[in-house]
């Protein structure tokens, strides 16, 4: 959605393989980590340019900045972003949203959550951008992975994935561009929704492949949307965040707090040659 409205033979060998298979199945059943062919670190015809698998014990500040570059409230969102929303453990990044107050953009906000970006640290024009994650569910929750030009400006914008927590089986793909007939704050956009499984129950892989001619969106390796109109031609940096309110509407008594957005990895590739 528009974010800038104001505001993976022998008996002994066999036993070992069976044990490994059972362990992998257990991970899949629990919705936690499991290896996937689609998640291979080597990809034929591509070169890996950015990679974070969150295997340390804290967020890597050489790759990420844990704040909004503008540090302003927009889209009628209800959260303030704070650095303590992030925790790295067991090879996963957790972004936690809480119904606890925080002071942000000059005012008290009723919720606190996290945003991280690669602004000033990594940007790229064209390539494959992917995230393996498990989203939270609940009215008012808005997890997203998206791209903006570096240095920060808007539009254009590419939304690799975003969803409303009240409908965790529906993911949205969008890109936005400046409306040539209006002021600099006006934009046009193209959005496609895909209804799949409940994306909050287990991890899924969301990706785009972007070149000079178009953008293609994938879910778990399957093409779900493509666009060729007004394709961005500039380097863009990464955002990962969990917002509250705005497009996702206000939380209500059914919304679980705290709610967590789990990220297994973020990867970016470019075509060889």
Phi, psi of 176 (to 5 degrees): -125, 145
Contact 260, 96 (CB under 8 A): yes
d(CA 244, CA 110): 10
Considering 98, 130, 162, 209, which one is annotated as catalytic? Answer: 162
Residue 19's φ and ψ, nearest 5 degrees, are -60, -45
Write down the catalytic residue from 77, 98, 130, 157.
Answer: 157
What is the distance between the alpha carbons of residues 256 and 99, in angstroms, rounded to a whole number?
9
Active site residue 62: no
Residue pair 238/120 in contact (Cβ under 8 Å)? The answer is no
> Does 209 qualify as catalytic in the annotation?
no
Cis upstream peptide for 258 (omega within 30°): yes
Place of tokens 């001619």: 213
Q: Which residues contact 271 (CB under 8 A, 6 or more apart)?
A: 45, 46, 47, 126, 127, 211
Write out the catalytic residue numbers: 157, 162
């Amino acid at each position: 959605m528009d974010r800038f409205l104001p505001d993976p033979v022998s008996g002994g060998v066999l036993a070992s393989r069976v044990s490994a298979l059972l362990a992998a199945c257990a991970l899949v059943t629990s919705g936690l980590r499991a290896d996937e062919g689609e998640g291979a670190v080597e990809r034929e015809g591509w070169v890996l340019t950015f990679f974070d698998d969150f295997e340390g014990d804290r967020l890597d500040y050489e790759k990420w900045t844990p704040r909004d570059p503008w540090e302003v409230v927009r889209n009628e969102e209800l959260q303030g972003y704070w650095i303590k929303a992030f925790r790295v453990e067991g090879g996963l990044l957790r972004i936690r949203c809480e119904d606890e107050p925080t002071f942000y953009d000059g005012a008290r906000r009723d919720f606190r959550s996290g945003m991280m970006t690669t602004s000033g640290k990594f940007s790229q024009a064209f390539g494959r951008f992917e995230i393996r994650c498990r989203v939270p569910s609940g009215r008012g929750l808005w997890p997203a992975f998206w791209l903006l030009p570096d240095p920060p400006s808007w539009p254009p914008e590419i939304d690799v994935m975003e969803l409303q927590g009240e409908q965790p089986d529906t993911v949205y793909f969008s890109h936005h561009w400046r409306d040539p007939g209006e002021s600099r704050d006006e934009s046009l956009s193209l959005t496609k929704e895909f209804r799949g499984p409940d994306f909050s129950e287990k991890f899924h892989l969301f990706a785009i492949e972007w070149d000079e001619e178009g953008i293609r969106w994938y879910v778990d390796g399957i093409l779900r949307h493509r666009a060729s109109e007004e394709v961005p031609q500039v380097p863009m940096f990464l955002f990962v965040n969990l917002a509250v309110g705005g497009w996702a509407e206000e939380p209500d008594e059914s919304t679980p707090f705290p709610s967590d957005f789990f990220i297994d990895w973020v990867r970016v590739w470019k075509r060889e040659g």
